[in-house]
Structure 1
Amino acid sequence: MLYGGTTNVEVARHLGVPRGTVGYWLHRDRARRGECPGRGGGAPCPRCDRRALDEAAYAYLLGLYLGDGHISHYAKHRSPSLMITCGNDWPGLQDLCEAAMHAVLPDNATCRVRQRGCVNIKVYSKHLPCLFPQHGPGRKHERRIALEEWQQAVTDAYPWDFVRGLVHSDGCRVTNWTERVIGGVRKRYEYPRYFFTNRSADIRTLYTEALDRVGVAWKSCHQRRDVQNISVARRDAVALMDAHVGAKR
């Protein structure tokens, strides 16, 4: 049995969860009671302190987080960190990611940690659990992912930014081809196509609902039992995606 005054480490060991998860639970409990840490000092929070939020940048960053991001809290750091992993093939995406972090958390410094084949872009803030309540124990595809009401309002207002973030994280623009016989001559035709792949059914649903809001036709296709792709291939739909999303740079 655990008693008052028990440390986060002891609670985590008893429950078999990471210590950062216990800290997150405590933060959420204090937030519900209006006792968010950081009040009265430090950088203000859009959720706790009603600071203005760059909603377009947040919608884009939320898409990146749901695809290639996670929040960690290590003992040597006072605040949790949001880390988005970006491949080295897309330096422009790295710049967009860091710019979105600056826009959402203008008082917090960002950094880039180079790894083999990728760069981890990070920002530290004690208010990350406020901004990304989807954070929790376990992998995203193994637990329920749902937007809170205020997040849904943001993505409804800026659906293209949300779609762009999701595609820039777990999507791609490719050129497909097919062959047809016309007048006895076999001809090759090429056409662009967008794919989005994520193991979480909830995240795929968030993506397709956003596509529905902006009028982009899509279809699902299975390649493996544990992975489902969302395809955008119709000419008018691809034209919309090209105008508002585009290929990763």
Structure 2
Amino acid sequence: MSRLLRVSRATLRDWRDRKAAEVDPAGCPICANGRPAAGPYAHLLGLYLGDGCLSPGKKQVYALRVACDNKYPRLIDEVEASIRAVHPTRPVHRAQAIGYISVVSYWKHWPCHFPQHGHGPKHLRDIKLTGWQRDIVIEEPGLFLRGLFHSDGCRVANWATRRVAGELKRYEYPRYQFSNESADIMALCQWALDLLAIPWRMPRHNALSVARREGVAALDRHVGPKS
């Protein structure tokens, strides 16, 4: 074989004895009719729908970018951890911009994981989940909501006044707000809240509020304030 192929015997022995790589760095579970880890992916999907995007580069390699405000270092760490869990064989970078950090990862198969990718802003195109994506959100609705609310939502202290015994008193209470111009993404947020039986209302067409005590307590367990 060495003479026939004009390859040294040492090289042939190396090919014969070398152990196969345990992980294919370019391996894609979607292309292999599988799916990524449910928890990290549900979280990353929510982040992508809020503050994420895919950018094509050379040789059909895409950059996944998730923008995070500098004020929330724990959120930045969580974004990086979820990206690493979904694609553990590639490095994750942090790119400082004015007022925010982009958490970036390069891979040819990011479009397989986020088929919602397309031209133009998300609110100007259809955003529909595939069957395997819906299955993952059904399994992990809390982590999906964590990604959504930590991108385009917040936990705030609201207040109201009430007259008690003739005296006007002010009451403060926490609530969660989620804002998005995409009707499709808003519907996904509503659906995930319904999966957890969390009551919500729509004060505006692009704004969702969770203010009832039991709903706020549930989101505190699954989402919590950004930090």
Residue aligning to 2:125:
143
Letter in structure 2 aligned against 1:139: P
Aligned partners of 1:84 and 1:101: how far apart in 2?
10
- Shift in Å at residue 121 of structure 1? 0.4
Give the number of the structure whose alpha-carbon radius of gyration is greater.
2
Residue aligning to 1:79:
61
Q: Does 1:238 align with 2:220?
A: no
Residue aligning to 2:77:
95
Q: Does 1:162 align with 2:144?
A: yes
Q: How does 1:106-125 map to 2 (within 5 A)?
A: 106-125=88-107
Judge conservation of contact 2:52–2:66 (CA < 8 Å) in 1.
yes
TM-score normalised by structure 1 residue count:
0.79
Residue aligning to 2:52:
69
Letter in structure 1 aligned against 2:32: D
Letter in structure 1 aligned against 2:94: R
Q: Does 1:59 align with 2:37?
A: no
Q: Does 1:134 align with 2:116?
A: yes
What's the secondary structure of 1:205's corresponding residue? helix
- Match for residue 183 of structure 1 among 165, 168, 171: 165
Aligned partners of 2:216 and 2:181: how far apart in 1?
23
Aligned partners of 2:177 and 2:34: how far apart in 1?
36
Aligned partners of 2:213 and 2:30: how far apart in 1?
40
What's the secondary structure of 1:186's corresponding residue? strand
Task: Give a deviation string over 1:123-175, Cα, whole Å, max 9, x none.
Answer: 00000010000001121100100000010001011111111110011110000
If asked which structure has higher relative contact order (CA below 8 Å, sep 6+), I would say 2
Judge conservation of contact 2:25–2:90 (CA < 8 Å) in 1.
no
Percent sequence identity over aligned pairs: 46
* Runs of 4 or more above 4 Å deviation: none
Letter in structure 1 aligned against 2:44: L
- Shift in Å at residue 221 of structure 1? 1.4
Letter in structure 1 aligned against 2:216: V
Residue aligning to 2:197:
215
Task: Give a deviation string over 1:203-224, Cα, whole Å, max 9, x none.
Answer: 00000000001010000012xx
Aligned partners of 2:217 and 2:127: how far apart in 1?
30
Unaligned regions of 5+ residues in structure 1, if any? 1-40
RMSD (Å), alpha carbons = 1.6
Judge conservation of contact 1:44–1:51 (CA < 8 Å) in 2.
no
- Shift in Å at residue 106 of structure 1? 0.3
What's the secondary structure of 1:188's corresponding residue? strand
Judge conservation of contact 1:43–1:108 (CA < 8 Å) in 2.
no
